[in-house]
Structure formats: structure tokens, C-alpha cells
Amino acid sequence: MDFNLFMNDVVDAARKDIREAGYEELKTPEEVDAALPRKGTTLVMINSVCGCAGGVARPAAANAIHYDKRPDHLVTVFAGQDREATEQARTYFEGYPPSSPSFAFLKDGKIVTMLERHDIEGFTAMDVLTKLQHIFDEHCEEF
């Protein structure tokens, strides 16, 4: 099998997983600048093709939102794939180094907190889901 075709399949599956979970995919810097400054709370899932993204971060992202409290907006950028969009998103994460996969939580366009790769890798999807829901408890309204 051609490696590039295999990687395209992996990327396509990763994109599909997070879109089907209800996240808006941001592929350009302009889409990032339109989405991240919105009023309210925004969860940004920084997607990637690594194993901890597929085995932990995306399942946590998909399941964390089935909760009494959740962000107003759910968006995603894909590190390593949509590089310009990812770099633009990272300009909103002041004080945090680049990390993927990761989750950024913003309120009215300002970074509140992040779950970085070291908060994801080596943990279960349930652990990360719980971490996300703690953030939601602290900063989100009930739906």
C-alpha cells in the first residue's frame, strides 16, 4: 500500500471523527479569526494523527460534550495538516507552547486554560473527558 494513500485515509478518518462529534473544522487562518473571538465559551480541539489523538483525545472530545454543561462553540484545527490555521489558532493561546493533540478553552476569545499533550498522552479517554468536564463545570452554563 502506498504510504501517502494510507496517511490520507488516516487524516480523513480523523477529520470525520471530530466533525461527526459536532466540532466545526477550521481550515484557514480567516476561519480561525472568525471563530475564536466569538462571544461565549469555545473549546478548540487541536487534532493530530498521533495515537493519543485517535485513542484518547478524539474520543474524549466526542463524549465530553454529552454533559449538563458544555461550551457554546466547538471547533477544531488539524496540526500538521492545516498548518496556517493551526498557527493562527495558537496565536490565541498566549502563554502555552504548541502542543498536539490538545484542547484550548477560551472565553470571549481569550484563553482560559489548556489541556496539553502531557495532560492527554498516557491517560485514558475517560481521564481526559473528566478533565474537560471539570473545565466545563467551572466555566460553562447548563444547556
Tens of pLDDT, residues 42-89: 999 999 988 889 999 999 999 999 999 999 999 999 999 999 999 999
**Sheet hosting strand 102-107, strand order edge to edge:** 24-25, 73-78, 41-47, 102-107, 110-115
pLDDT of residue 41: 97
Phi/psi of residue 64, nearest 5 degrees: -65, -25
Class for the domain spanning 3-139: alpha beta
Mean pLDDT taken over the chain: 93
Q: Which of 45, 50, 125, 135 is catalytic?
A: 50
Q: How much is the pTM?
A: 0.94
Domain regions of the chain by residue span: 3-139
Q: Would you call 140 a catalytic residue per the annotation? A: no
Cβ contact 100:48 at 8 Å: yes
Alpha helices in the chain (DSSP H): 3-20, 29-35, 51-52, 58-64, 83-90, 117-120, 125-139
Q: Which of 18, 46, 52, 64 is catalytic?
A: 52
**Average of per-residue pLDDT across 123-129:** 96
